[in-house]
Amino acid sequence: MKGRNLFIMIVSALLIVMLTASTSALILSGIAENPTRVCVVVEDSGSGRWTSFTAGLEQAAKDMGVKLTVLPTTRNQTLSQQYAQMNEAISDGADGIILQACGSSKTENMISDISSKAVLVLIDGEVDTDVDVEGKSACIEPDNLEIGRALANEVRTALGNDLTGYSIGIVAGNQRRSSNIQRLNGFMENIESSGAEILWMDNSRINTVDKIRTAQTERTADILVALDNDGLESVCEYVLQDELSPYIFGEGTSIKNVSYIDDGLINSMVVPNEYYMGYQSIAAIAERMDNRLTPMQNEMISYRIVNRDNLFDESNQRVLFPVVE
């Protein structure tokens, strides 16, 4: 009698569980889930260099039902300002943060704190972190060392392997950021044996055009190399203003730089696939939100080298001109 009742009770319990689960699923399928909220903290968020990246973010947010907020920021931010912005965003309900840190060192506490409160994705440059065995944050970026090397290779391809007699001015950008440090290291590594002379190097973050002009006035370099998008724009603006014609190489993503290639101003430009970087940043956060137990993993994104000859190649058009007007 006891066994019989137990049998029926077990079957009934199973049926009740099935009923509850299916009813809940039916009800929940009709209710829109609270979307994951992601805040993006990047330096100078209004810059055209983020166009491709933002397009990737927005597409991913649309595909994955993520509510996206790109916080308005200026060019010359500090780590503490970024920290404050992220904390504010988290207190406003952000589940995930996408951060382009303006410095790479002494960031352990900030990263540790933020990644314990929200899912953190770092873009465009690694930072100092404590040991993250749980994989609470991840870095999505191009191989910056390789970008540096590729730039050097482009210079040598354009002007010959032996660059003896050529002088180079480097606009190295924010050298507190690991991405730029690595690009510089990569560039120096591959240009060293060419015989070219490095005349000057500029690390300024503001008034870069003036700084370039000053450096060029003092010692005029034949080749100008910029390691980031803003630096490359500054170099082009300087050249346009002063009506000069040095060789220009650099890393960039903005339509302005693309236009400079089209105008023949820039000889060659390395373009990271920032659309992919934006898309994957959101995807990584959404995946982590879905499964908290899966550790996040770093990801390298690809880059391509663009010059005037291949600017309008079919394969380059979608990457370089993402926004259809």
Interacting residues toward another protein by CB under 8 A:
1, 3-4, 7-8, 11-12, 15-16, 18-19, 21-23, 25-26, 29-30, 48, 55-56, 59, 63, 255-256, 258-259, 262-264, 273, 275-276, 279, 311-312, 314-315, 317-319, 321-322, 324-325
Q: Which is nearer to another protein, 28 or 84 (CB)?
A: 28
Shortest gap between Cβ of 143 and another protein (angstroms)? 16
Q: Which is nearer to another protein, 8 or 244 (CB)?
A: 8
Q: Which is nearer to another protein, 116 or 317 (CB)?
A: 317
Shortest gap between Cβ of 78 and another protein (angstroms)? 30
Shortest gap between Cβ of 317 and another protein (angstroms)? 5
Q: Which is nearer to another protein, 1 or 293 (CB)?
A: 1
DSSP line for 143-179: -HHHHHHHHHHHHHHHH-S--TT-EEEEE---TTSHH
Q: How many CB atoms lie within 10 A of CB 219?
A: 11
Shortest gap between Cβ of 97 and another protein (angstroms)? 22
DSSP secondary structure code for residue 112 in this structure = H
Shortest gap between Cβ of 98 and another protein (angstroms)? 17
Q: Which is nearer to another protein, 126 or 233 (CB)?
A: 233
Q: Which is nearer to another protein, 157 or 321 (CB)?
A: 321
Q: Whose CA is closest to 108, among 93, 126, 92, 94?
A: 126
Tell me the two tokens of residue 30.
Answer: 């009709």
Q: Which is nearer to another protein, 19 or 84 (CB)?
A: 19
Question: Is-contact 234 171, C-beta < 8 A?
Answer: yes
Distances, alpha carbon 66 to alpha carbons 11, 96, 191, in Å: 41, 10, 44
Q: Whose CA is closest to 64, among 273, 284, 316, 317?
A: 284
Tell me the two tokens of residue 204.
Answer: 């300024």
Question: Is-contact 285 36, C-beta < 8 A?
Answer: yes
Shortest gap between Cβ of 114 and another protein (angstroms)? 27
Shortest gap between Cβ of 234 and another protein (angstroms)? 15
Helix, strand, coil share of the chain (percent; to 5): 50, 20, 35
Q: How many CB atoms lie within 10 A of CB 310?
A: 15
